[in-house]
Amino acid sequence: MGRPGEFLESIHSMPRVHILPAETDLLADPDENLLKLLRRHQVPIRYSCKSGECGSCKCVLESGQVKLKKYDPKALPDAQRDSGIILACRAILSEDITIRLTDSDDLIAHPERKLLCRVVALEPLTQDIFALRLHIEFADMEGIPFTFSAGQYVQIVVEVDGQEIARDFSMASTPVDAEYDDLLEFHIRRTPTGALSSLLGGVIRPGAQLLVRGPMGTSYFRPRHQGPLYAVGGGTGLAPMLSVAQTALDNGKLEPVVLFAGFRNQADVYGLEQMEQMRRSYRNFSYHLALDEAQPGDPPQAVHRPLAAHLLEQVADFAGSKVYLAGPPGMVEAISASLLERGLPEKDLHADAFYPPVTAELAPAA
Ligand code: FES
């Protein structure tokens, strides 16, 4: 057994994080990552990329110092950093600090869960995009249904030859499907070199078991917002946008809900039937289909111009709106920049870029 004072000494050497406005204190391990600490204690904080690229984990450093690891200056411009804003995912703790979480009214925290799921269907939506449907067979926290907010994602984990392969995918299905029917649906493009997607139809086939961890992500539907909702999805970024739009309509949203779907060409197009069904069912729903390339036989409703240009042309004024955005990083960053330039407040832009996998160091706390 150690000296009687050793325990107290070790506590004294742990950085203390005082959190406002909740007025709570957390003790961190020396050199612990701030986002990891907050996640470990289930403190609701927005985050997405976990690698200093998206800027969604910003919080205000009220006192004390943190060491900030490398980040993209677009995620935290110098002016913001100089005014005391930090990125929680890049902040390393070595001394007592006080932070203020922003946007706390808007935060929804679903506990991160571990689910054992069975593949119940794998259906082609295009020549290389598949709908993967999973049934939740077992969940930790027994008796508590799995919950998430529309627009969030999970990590799907497969073990191959003793090696764990984990990738993030957004739910295309709604939270109601998960909570009441234990069902999750994902839209995944199969690429020959995709560590997980190349297993579709092989290891990942109907009957196979998969591990799922989550939910994660901050680009989720805000049910209290009143005003037009624009859901913008490029490629398989359509998946979470279908979930957001459907959930908004199911929740009885009365203001316009407009979905913008963008694809390279007609071979990539999917989801038309679902969007048509939504249009027939809800008078306040409409959708746009933008294709980069024009080809004979394109769907009659398609316009031929980049998704960003079409969105900005169609919506003259984003005042009072919320925009949800998902897809490849280049597209998400370009549209985000244009929307902010047009005056859309940052708090009304909820964007999740599909970044490449991040290192284990910044993986969500277990
Ligand atoms: S910058 Fe921290 S989560 Fe993206």
Residue 160 belongs to domain with CATH number: 2.40.30.10
Atom of ligand 1 nearest to the CA of 54: 4
CA–chain centroid gap for 24, Å, is 26
CA–chain centroid gap for 176, Å, is 18
Cα–Cα nearest to 148, from 230, 76, 232, 216:
216
Q: Last residue of some domain: 75, 106, 137?
A: 106
Rounded Cα distance, 61 and 42, in Å: 19
Q: Are residues 87 and 117 in the same domain?
A: no
Q: Are residues 72 and 177 in the same domain?
A: no
Domain assignment present for residue 182? The answer is yes
pLDDT at 67: 96
Give me ligand 1 centre to Cα 46, in Å: 8
Q: Tokens 């289930």 label which residue?
A: 42
pLDDT at 279: 97
**297 falls in which pLDDT band (50, 70, 90)?**
very high
Give me ligand 1 centre to Cα 96, in Å: 22
- Count of domains forming the chain: 3
Q: Are residues 343 and 245 in the same domain?
A: yes
Tell me if 170 sits within 8 A of 240, measured CB to CB.
Answer: yes
Start-end of H helices in 90-237: 175-181
Q: Are residues 121 and 96 in the same domain?
A: no
Rounded Cα distance, 225 and 221, in Å: 9
Rounded Cα distance, 323 and 311, in Å: 11
CA–chain centroid gap for 55, Å, is 13
**366 falls in which pLDDT band (50, 70, 90)?**
very low
| CATH (domain of 266) | 3.40.50.80
What whole-number percentage of the chain has pLDDT above 70?
91
Higher pLDDT pick, 6 / 249: 249
Tell me if 323 sits within 8 A of 298, measured CB to CB.
Answer: no
Q: Whose CA is nearest to atom 1 of ligand 1?
A: 52
Q: Are residues 307 and 206 in the same domain?
A: no
Q: Are residues 206 and 127 in the same domain?
A: yes
Q: Are residues 251 and 326 in the same domain?
A: yes
Q: Last residue of some domain: 45, 71, 106?
A: 106
Range of the domain at 147: 113-217
Q: Are residues 262 and 326 in the same domain?
A: yes
Give me ligand 1 centre to Cα 216, in Å: 12
**361 falls in which pLDDT band (50, 70, 90)?**
very low
Domain assignment present for residue 360? The answer is no
Rounded Cα distance, 228 and 151, in Å: 17
User: CB within 8 A of 193, min separation 6: which ones?
Assistant: none
Q: What is the pLDDT of residues 220-232, one digit of tens each?
A: 999 888 899 999 9
Atom of ligand 1 nearest to the CA of 71: 1
| Cross-strand partners of 155 | 168, 213
Ligand 1-lining residues (CB < 6 angstroms): 47-50, 52-57, 75, 87, 89
Start-end of H helices in 84-209: 175-181
Rounded Cα distance, 212 and 198, in Å: 18
